Amino acid sequence: MHTLIGLLIVLVGLTVMATFESRARRLDRRIARLDHRLDLLMRHHGVPDDDPELAEVAALVRAGQHIPAIKKYREATGAGLVEAKQAVDRLQR
């Protein structure tokens, strides 16, 4: 009888742990998706983040070197020419 109760307690404990792990994995995936979306929004609006390459882009814009800024933005983000120009233009404002 005691063995059966112990076994039930272990099974319930394992079920609870599995549920929490499953929720933790879902939460981790959701946070990763939100982080990715935030990165896209920041890039779209030309908000530099803590990336040193993007800080260099902002410095080039402040120095009036727009073409080098566009090139550096493309290298840092993998953006196309039009997207990089728009981002640099937004940083200029």
> Encoding tokens for residue 8?
């039930």
Domain boundaries, the chain: 1-44, 48-93
Q: What is the 3-state secondary structure (H, E, C) of the chain?
A: CHHHHHHHHHHHHHHHHHHHHHHHHHHHHHHHHHHHHHHHHHHHCCCCCCCHHHHHHHHHHHCCCHHHHHHHHHHHHCCCHHHHHHHHHHHHC
> The pTM is what?
0.48
CB 61 within 8 A of CB 91: yes
> Encoding tokens for residue 9?
């307690």
pLDDT at 71 over 80: yes
Alpha carbon distance 84, 78 (integer Å): 9
- 25-54 mean pLDDT: 80
Lowest mean pLDDT among 5-9, 49-53, 61-65, 69-73: 49-53
What pLDDT does residue 49 have? 65
% of the chain surpassing 90 pLDDT:
26
State the average pLDDT for the chain. 85
